[in-house]
Amino acid sequence: MQSALAIVIGIIFAAGVFLMLRRNIVKFVFGLALVGQAVNLAIFASSGMTRYHAPLIHPESLYLSYQSADPLPQAMILTAIVIGFGLLAFTIIILLRTFQLFDEVDTDELQMVDKS
**Which residue would you say has higher pLDDT here, 61 or 39?**
39
For the chain, the farthest-separated pair of C-alpha atoms sits apart, in whole angstroms, at: 74
Q: Rounded CA gap, 57 and 32, in Å? A: 39
Q: What is the mean pLDDT of residues 85-110?
A: 88
- Kindly state the DSSP code that residue 96 receives in the 8-state scheme: H
The domain segmentation of the chain, as residue ranges, is 2-49+72-115
Q: Rounded CA gap, 82 and 76, in Å? A: 10
C-alpha 94, offset from chain centre: 19
> In this structure, which amino acid lies at residue 26?
V
Q: Mean pLDDT for the chain?
A: 87
Q: Rounded CA gap, 28 and 19, in Å? A: 6
Q: 2-49+72-115: what fold?
A: Helix Hairpins (1.10.287)
- For the full predicted model, state whether its pTM sits above 0.85: no
pLDDT value for 107: 80
pLDDT in tens, 69-84: 788 888 999 999 999 9
Residue 65 pLDDT > 80: no
pLDDT in tens, 14-39: 999 999 999 898 999 999 999 999 99
